[in-house]
Amino acid sequence: MLEAIWQGFLMSISPKVLGLMVIACFIGNFFGAVPGLGGNLALALLIPFVFGWEPFAGLAFLLSMHAVVHTGGSIPGILFAIPGTGPTVATIVDGYPMTKMGKGGQAMGAQLAASGLGGVIGAFVLALLIPVVRPIAIAFGSPEVLMLIVFGLTFVVILSRDSIPKGFMSAMLGLLLSSVGLNPHTGVGRYTFDQLWLWDGIHIVTLVLGLFAFAEMIDLGARGRGGQIAHGEVKMTWYQLWEGTLAVFQNWWLSLRTAIIGTFIGIIPGLGGDVATWVCYGHAVQTCKNNENFGKGDIRGVIAVETANNAKEGGALLPTIVFGIPGSSGMALLLGAFLILGITPGPQLLTNHLDLVWGMVWVLVISNIFAAISLYPISGWMGKLAYIRGSLLIPPIMFLAAIGASLIRGHWQDFLFVAFTGLLGFSMKKWKYPRPPMILGFILGRLAEDYLHKSLAAWGFAFLLRPVCFGLLLLSIASLGYSIWHQQRERAKKKKSIKNIPGEFYFTVFMFVLFVLGFYFSTRWGVKARLFPQLVVIIGGVISLWQLFKMKIVAKQAREAVEIGDEETEKAPGAVRQISTPRSEWTMILWVALFFTMTIVLGFHVSMVLYTVIFLYFFGRESWKTITLFTISLWVGIHFTFEAFTKTTLYGGVMDYLIEYFSG
Amino acid sequence: MRKTAFLALLAILIVLVSTTHGDAKPYYEGKVIKIIVATKPGGGYDFWARLIGTYMEKNLPGSTIIVKNVPGAGHVIGTNETYMAKPDGLTIGTFNRAVGLTQLVGMKGVKFDFTKFNWLGSPNSEIYSFLVRSDLYKNIDDVLKADNVRLATTGLGAISYITPLLFYQALGKKNYTVATGYSGAESEMAVMRKEMDGTWGSIESLKTMLDGGFGTCVLLIGKKQPAGLENVPLLKDFIKDEKNRPVVELLNGLNIVGRPFAAPPKVPEDRLKILQDAFYKACHDPGFIKAVQKSEKTVDFVGPDEVDAWAKSMLSLPPETVKLIKKAYGIE
């Protein structure tokens, strides 16, 4: 055993392997940080290169690239609320508010250190678990996974913050959106309206691009041309990065817990990073003291998510190594690559090539540390972007987000969805509907339904009596009870202020209408297909009615309205508050509408020039020199990032079809 | 001044647009070809697509081949997407060979005509295997005597779903339950942890299970038994009566065309020819054959004409068989 550990270590520090790992870390970070690319695309593009390589070199190259994708993926999330990859979505919840408060440096320092530390812990937990992975895999059948998902869903309460009804409505909307698509158990297309692009359902990154990235852009633009993401003087210093790094180790007990939970969730096939990060985030909010700042820029939120994110890769590697059965889609790609390299994963790998297994553990350790360290200088530089004036920041961010949305599944119609969710996200922010429960519901909803069907097929309702399953059920009930109790206690402490925000009533009516429509369209499906969505819309509908009723009462009690204030902004010390008015909000919404119309019609190549020029000229009132230089750099930058470097085709718009038509 | 500058920018714009479009190179040079795989990454279809993609790329100079996984609804989504793709020769697809049956029974949501695909061929023939828990059953007789056998399947329309339905229907037995939603490797895991009692799958994808002693193979569908499984009966020897001949032939035929690859209808003939040639060359490339063997699989090329004939025969089955399949689907 010790010899294998040593052998594995020697293999992974040979100059050739180390050199390849360095390259792989840069590639992995890049594919993670650019929205719409992602680790699976990186693997798919690079697997052909490793044909004929020496097996361990190829393995180290691909594994390290895959392991560090989320390290880079969190940076655009923290800075601009753009998720680089699905599992980095949860980082936005606390990371972006931190940037707005001028603490972007701390967030990124914490993110990098937590990613590195999580990856290392994950690798060691993987090594420790190898002997017991079989009993674990066998103990976790569909019913247990289902209960784990239900447990995750109980975090809706704790994520709902100030208003449990609003949180629940948000969660129900997420659950409803998760049921969109062709249902594998019945073959029924739910809420697809005969649109092929909706058959695959909705992608998490597409949803979050709208819900966060575009919503925040509207918010930024509404504060005028001088609005900045982070207010005041540039506070991006090395000291901030260091503070963030230190915070990870100061919260070592949390880091350790979330890394271990992340690894365990990684082991279970079919769950993956989205679930791991959200369960760990919920866990952090539930167990940390003084948790009232979660969601408003608490560094512990970033730490919990980021440790889990990288740790779960270690877990996902386990079933791949031990059974030859991949635990995630990325691992499935890796598995294919392993076979091509001549390494057959499975039980025999443990008996015949233990050194190779330890080599993988060391590769995970080294690449995670290296990826984190290599990003420090880049983060220090990137962090300053948050202080650029909004007029220059908005076009690149919108293009990056929209290109990401179009690349994820290759349907241009996803723009329409992003535009819709962008408006939805902005409204939710404005009227204080928490967005995290919606994402939690969205991620867990489809899985919950899937595993319920599987559990019932295997055991009928008797599945509830399986010991682990029953235990997890009790845990979920306890978690739910504790959360509600805790929430009530917190609310009792606060001064009771029941006031309606202008327009909130109509937004709640809109939510209610969505639920009613959800019910209406579900009536024509078979029982098995409509059971889940109908349950969701009924709960959502009842709660929204209750909320509307409550608002009427409040309106009677106090016929006064409060001005909406941006809490995060107000808290930033020394910040000059930039005010948005309904008029500036509408102006920005129209700018976003113009953006989508232009892009859909003209495609990215043209709209990148035309829209940027128009936006900078009319909105930003920039000089022609700035406009020209800026537009050209944006075009060239995007062209190289996507088309030249990663061989992706950008959406060409209706123009493309016309050109094709006329050129035969 | 401002007006001139604006015009200058417009000129730049026009140049940028015109450089990105249209000049006379070989068609596939600089193009991206998409292979739609109707499963999640990691299964057999995905493996073949990725490997073939690599070798097709070699035979289409200047092109880039990417794989897009479009899973769901027992391959119907991926097949639809392939069928409805722009017929510019830049999209091909691979999907379950049994997905044509969903069209035969008139399932809702099917938007393709299986007989109209432009086939590229199949890189292999399959041997399909009935794998069951080794702690419960020793042979097929044990399985047929059991009270209830729970089978993991991908979902409606998938061959892992249809095969057990037809098999039990032919035997006139109902001692089984079909569970849906087990995609790719999940069904093997389910059998391993005893959540399910068995599953049908290609002998290659179930190899880990057999080697690890987690499962026993009790029945095979294919031309002949592979090495090491000589004692396991073949379906054609197991069900011999005349009445069930069409069913047995259907199930057999379904496995000769292992992993069909197709382009959508109406692809220009010259481009289709180039694609078919590239596919043929890829399947016969020594590097490809070696890579397949390395992954413990075998290459057994089936040409486009043979696949086309098979696809058409599937859609013209005798009415009694269609009735049986519909019954197995729960339609009627």
Amino acid at A527: V
Give the burial string for A344-366 (b: 16+ CB within 10 Å, else e).
bbbbebbeebbbbbbbbbbbbbb
DSSP labels, A374-407: HHHHHHHHHGGGGGS-HHHHHHHHHHHHHHHHHH
pLDDT of B21: 47
A597 interfacial to chain B (CB closer than 8 Å): no
Q: Which residue has the tokens 């409040």?
A: A554
A188 interfacial to chain B (CB closer than 8 Å): yes
- How many CB atoms lie under 10 A from the CB of residue A138? 13
Instruction: Determine what percent of chain A is predicted with pLDDT higher than 90.
Output: 36
Taking the C-alpha atoms of residue A451 and residue A2, their distance in angstroms, rounded to an integer, is: 40
Q: Which of B2, B57, B211 is opposite residue A624, by nearest beta carbon?
A: B2
Q: Which of B50, B72, B190 is opposite residue A184, by nearest beta carbon?
A: B72
B23 CB burial (10 A radius; 0-12, 13-18, 19+): exposed
Q: Which residues contact A517 (CB under 8 A, 6 or more apart)?
A: none
pLDDT of A589: 93
Amino acid at A49: F
DSSP labels, A287-346: HSSSGGGTTSS-HHHHHHHHHHHHHHHHHHHHHHHHHS--SSHHHHHHHHHHHHTT---S
B212 interfacial to chain A (CB closer than 8 Å): yes
Contact (Cβ atoms closer than 8 angstroms) between residue A75 and residue A382: yes
pLDDT of B206: 79
Contact (Cβ atoms closer than 8 angstroms) between residue A144 and residue A469: yes
Amino acid at B24: A
Mutate which: B131, B180, B214, B295, vs A, most A CBs within 10 A = B180
Kindly provide the ipTM of the predicted complex, given to two decimals.
0.75
Residue A519 predicted with pLDDT over 90: yes
B80 interfacial to chain A (CB closer than 8 Å): yes
Q: Which of A45, A199, A605 is opposite residue B16, by nearest beta carbon?
A: A605
Taking the C-alpha atoms of residue B190 and residue A450, their distance in angstroms, rounded to an integer, is: 14
Contact (Cβ atoms closer than 8 angstroms) between residue A155 and residue A279: yes
Q: Which residues contact A453 (CB under 8 A, 6 or more apart)?
A: A185, A528, B179, B180, B181
Q: What value does the mean pLDDT of chain B take?
A: 83
Q: Which residue has the tokens 């037809």?
A: B166
For the segment A297-314, what is each residue's pLDDT rounded down to a tens digit? Answer: 899 999 999 999 889 888
Largest CA distance in chain A: 77
CB < 8 Å & 24+ apart, contacts of B220-229: B220/B127, B220/B128, B220/B129, B220/B130, B221/B127, B221/B128, B221/B129, B221/B163, B221/B251, B221/B252, B221/B254, B221/B255, B222/B125, B222/B126, B222/B127, B222/B128, B222/B252, B222/B255, B223/B125, B223/B127, B223/B256, B225/B127, B226/B127, B229/B203
> HSE on the CB side for A182, CA within 13 Å?
25
pLDDT band at residue A567 using 50, 70 and 90 as cut-offs? very low
Instruction: Determine what percent of chain A is predicted with pLDDT higher than 70.
Output: 91
B189 interfacial to chain A (CB closer than 8 Å): yes
Taking the C-alpha atoms of residue A660 and residue B63, their distance in angstroms, rounded to an integer, is: 19
3-state secondary structure (DSSP) of residue B150: strand
Taking the C-alpha atoms of residue B275 and residue B280, their distance in angstroms, rounded to an integer, is: 9
pLDDT of A664: 44
Radius of gyration of chain A measured on its C-alpha atoms: 24
pLDDT of B263: 95
pLDDT of A571: 45
User: Which of these ranges, A280-294, A422-436, B67-81, B104-118, has the smallest mean pLDDT?
Assistant: B67-81
Taking the C-alpha atoms of residue A402 and residue A638, their distance in angstroms, rounded to an integer, is: 12
Residue A617 predicted with pLDDT over 80: yes
Average pLDDT over residues B126-154: 91
Extract the tokens encoding A98. Answer: 């931190």
Q: In Å, how far from its chain's centre is CA A211? A: 11
Amino acid at A139: A
Q: Which of A183, A335, A605 is opposite residue B42, by nearest beta carbon?
A: A335
Amino acid at B200: W
Phi/psi at B65 (nearest 5 deg)? -110, 125
Strands A181-182 and A189-190 turn out to be: antiparallel
A269 interfacial to chain B (CB closer than 8 Å): yes
A495 CB burial (10 A radius; 0-12, 13-18, 19+): exposed
Extract the tokens encoding A366. Answer: 């080294």
Residue B12 predicted with pLDDT over 80: no
A468 interfacial to chain B (CB closer than 8 Å): no
Phi/psi at A496 (nearest 5 deg)? -75, 120
Mutate which: B4, B6, B7, B9, vs A, most A CBs within 10 A = B9
Distance (Å) from the C-alpha of residue A457 to the closest C-alpha of chain B? 5
Q: Which residue has the tokens 């070592």?
A: A252
* Residues shown for chain B: 332
A189 interfacial to chain B (CB closer than 8 Å): yes
- How many CB atoms lie under 10 A from the CB of residue A31? 27
Instruction: Determine what percent of chain B is predicted with pLDDT higher than 90.
Output: 29
Average pLDDT over residues B49-57: 89
pTM of the shown model: 0.82
Does the beta-carbon distance from A336 to B211 stay under 8 Å?
no
Largest CA distance in chain B: 91
**Residues paired with residue B302 on neighbouring β-strands, in sequence order:** B122
Find which of A39-43, A55-59, A251-255, A319-323 is predicted with most confidence, using mean pLDDT: A251-255
Taking the C-alpha atoms of residue A55 and residue A341, their distance in angstroms, rounded to an integer, is: 5
Phi/psi at B41 (nearest 5 deg)? -60, 145
Nearest C-alpha neighbor of A73 from the set A30, A32, A25: A32
Residue A45 predicted with pLDDT over 90: no
pLDDT band at residue B283 using 50, 70 and 90 as cut-offs? very high
